Chain A
Amino acid sequence: MGENWFQREFLQPRRLAFNVIFYGLHLFFFAYGWHSQETNKKLSALNALTWSVWTSRGAGLVLAFDGGLILVPMLRNIIRVVRPKLTWLFPADENIWFHRQVAYSMAFWAMVHTTAHYVNFFNVERTQVRPEIALDIHYTQAGGITGHFMLLIMVLMYTTAHHKIRNQCFEAFWYTHHLAFFFMIGLYAHATGCFVRDSALPAYTAVFPFYTTDHCLGYESWRFTIWPGIIYFGERIWREIRARRATRLSKVLVHPSGAMELRIIKPSFKYVAGQWLFIQVPDISGLQWHPFTITSAPEDPYVSVHIRQVGDWTYALGERVGAGPQVVASMTKAALKGNEKDENIYGTRGDFVEIDAAGRALPNVRIDGPYGAPAEDVFNVEVAVLIGAGIGVTPFASILKHIWYRQKKGTLGSLKRVEFFWVCRDAPSFGWFQTLLQEVEAAQADPNFLRINIYLTQKISEDMLWNIAVNDAGAEYDPLTLLRTRTMFGRPDWKAIYSRMSQAIQSGQYLPGTNAQLKSKVGTYFCGPGVLAKAIKEACQEANCASVDFTFAKEHF
């Protein structure tokens, strides 16, 4: 894929720093754990087991570190608050990535730790330094039992978290990942009955934490690692409380492209453009929370999300609100045929249909959020390049609306221009987004402020080609999108786009009133598949020059 493993991991300064610090800390903890065991005179009986006990202790300390770290990237509310202040330090939006790195290293060190302990207990039994057999330690003492349970939970959690399984069946991933609760309990209880002791028999006591530190000489690491667990648990409770605040589903609109728009009213819900939320519909499932991007602007009196019917849950939601697959399919067919083009003044294509609540009342909904996304920062740059691919366009609905509201108020910050790109495979899915784009486009007083570029990557049939060729010529609106902007076909050439933009800025044509002495900031905000992100990021880096600073941010789903 263009760059090899070495280039990716070591030749990018940020990644290099991460690797050195993250894995350096792991190795340090391992070495320290090894050393502290080997040199501890009180544990000389245990040290007769030699390398295996030193290894297990070192790996144990590393695992305690990982166990404390694994929940930190999942503290969503804290990250949302902390992120704007710390963007310079670490990419907080990469929290899931970090969670995975910790998990990988946890799996590796768990292997080291377990292997070493298998050797330890084998030798304890053989030499009888303690009057017990290996299986006693494995299956009758707290450390052994919790350890084996944690390993089993890890097998289940890791396998269901594979991206393929997650895409197939989110529920399997979602429910299985909640085994983390038992995993963390196991982790905190793992040292109870302590293997690391100077007495022959386990030193249990009747009161919390059920062992005595007179004989237990472990790290007592649970005293530290339990805090992220407690904070995470508290955060989950806080999210539950917040989700229970008054929420009302006021409207359901179905767009011809098949997307449903839910308009929700929740006065206690405050957010900024480009953020996302979790939504729950108790009628469908009282346990599942599904993430969606907010498509309304903070200025709107409601919170809206656009939902495409693609999975189990979204189908069920469609059925529940009376916009099942048949309804949507017939609408999509109609949209495809093009019979929605009733020639009114704007030439609006098939408007949305409001589902009336006559038959059944609209279901209750609960929302949890908002959670951060990099696109909050658009007002800090001079030129914002917004790129959405397919359904990844949703955060930009909110942002474009928000920009439009701010434009009306005249509070645009340093933002001078907006380039909006939408890369999309098929024409019908343009539908719901189009009304919004029309509004925004029509409201532009300065023709240069917002430029909309739409790319259609689908292979088009000959009929369609002729249609476009004939209808497009000289028409005021694009025949496909009904925007003033022309639709382009094929994949965009990002390198050319960026280098042209860079040249235009340097020559002073692009941003009137700025001169080359000042460094202009061009921020790219992307939402869509990973391969495209990579191509755009490369183009961004290539276009970087002395007077123009190109930055890139990506959103994850």
Chain B
Amino acid sequence: MGNLVWHEYARYVSLTATVYTIWAAFFGIYYRKFFWDFVHGIVRAPGGLQPAASDGIFVSIIVKAPVVQLLNMVLGFGLLALDYPLPFLKNSAIHRSFPIRIVLLLLQAFFAILYYQGTNGAIYSIIAALCYTRAQLNGEVMPEAKDNKGRGGRA
């Protein structure tokens, strides 16, 4: 596929996925729902799906207190800082490491898949992680940013 530099492409997917996930987590705080509650759950009218008793742990960290959503948001902002990147992270060893991103993205996907709003964010995060994996397997490295290299000045 041409000269596609996978980690540069992965960055855009990762940023999209992360912003989506942060937004989803934000709404997940207000409208709390365990995504997998349909498994063994019962529907009550009104009241909606009641998760099975065996899902108690998820109910307490997603519905009773939005722990997963908050964790996901913090993680999302961390990823955003890493991928955008924030000035102090630029050119650091963490910024140049793909495995860290792959792990963080998969972790983000894992958190996001737990609550109602996070599904798409999780899917996009996995896609981004796959793209970074491909970059890693292809042996791509992130070149050190050169100083004073913007998008071009005035002619």
Contact = CB atoms under 8 A, between A and B. Distances in A.
Contacts of B2: 168-172, 311-312
Interface stretch (B43-51, B78-86, B99-107): B43-51
Given A125-B48, A155-B124, A159-B9, A133 B117 contact: no
Nearest to A154: B16
Interface of A, helix, strand, loop or mixed by DSSP = helix
A170 B33 CA distance: 42
A376 B16 CA distance: 41
B120 A122 contact: no
A90 B9 CA distance: 34
B1 A171 contact: yes
A151 B19 CA distance: 14
Contacts of B8: 164-165, 168
Nearest to A139: B119
B54 interface: no
A456 interface: no
Interface in B1-42: 1-5, 8-9, 12-13, 16-17, 23-24, 27, 31, 33, 38
Given A122-B33, A535-B154, A128 B47 contact: yes
Contacts, number: 94
A135 interface: yes
B155 interface: yes
A535 B154 CA distance: 7
B152 interface: yes
Contacts of A122: 31, 33, 116
A17 to B, nearest CB: 27
A1 B45 contact: no
Contacts of A118: 24, 27, 31, 116-117
Interface in A118-156: 118-119, 122, 125-128, 131, 133-135, 148, 151-152, 155
B3 A159 contact: no
A78 interface: no
A155 B16 contact: yes
A172 B153 CA distance: 28
A1 B154 CA distance: 7
Interface string B120-155: 100110010000000000000000000000001111
A158 interface: yes
Nearest to A535: B155
A491 B153 CA distance: 13
Contacts of B120: 148, 151-152
Contacts of A160: 9
A111 B22 CA distance: 13
Contact of A128 (B13, B24, B45, B127): B45
A122 B33 CA distance: 8
A159 B117 CA distance: 22
A128 B5 contact: no
Interface residues of B, number: 34
A152 B123 contact: yes
A183 to B, nearest CB: 15
A428 to B, nearest CB: 22
Which of B8, B17, B48, B123 has most chain A Cβ within 10 Å? B48
Interface stretch (A357-365, A459-467, A476-484, A526-534): A526-534
A531 B154 contact: yes
B48 A126 contact: yes
Nearest to A114: B120
Contacts of B31: 118-119, 122
Contacts of B152: 529, 531
A115 interface: yes
Contacts of B127: 155
Contacts of B45: 128, 131
Contacts of A172: 1-2, 4, 9
A2 interface: yes
Contacts of B44: 128
Nearest to B14: A159
A536 B155 CA distance: 9
Contacts of A126: 46-48
A297 B12 CA distance: 42
A133 B9 contact: no
A85 interface: no
Contacts of A111: 23
B42 to A, nearest CB: 11
A165 B49 contact: no
A176 to B, nearest CB: 10
B116 A134 contact: yes
B3 A168 contact: yes
Contact of B13 (A135, A155, A535): A155
A169 B116 contact: no
29 contacts: A111-B23, A118-B117, A122-B31, A122-B116, A126-B47, A127-B48, A128-B46, A128-B47, A133-B38, A133-B48, A134-B33, A135-B38, A148-B120, A155-B17, A162-B12, A165-B4, A168-B3, A168-B5, A170-B2, A171-B1, A171-B2, A172-B1, A172-B2, A172-B4, A311-B3, A534-B155, A535-B154, A535-B155, A536-B155
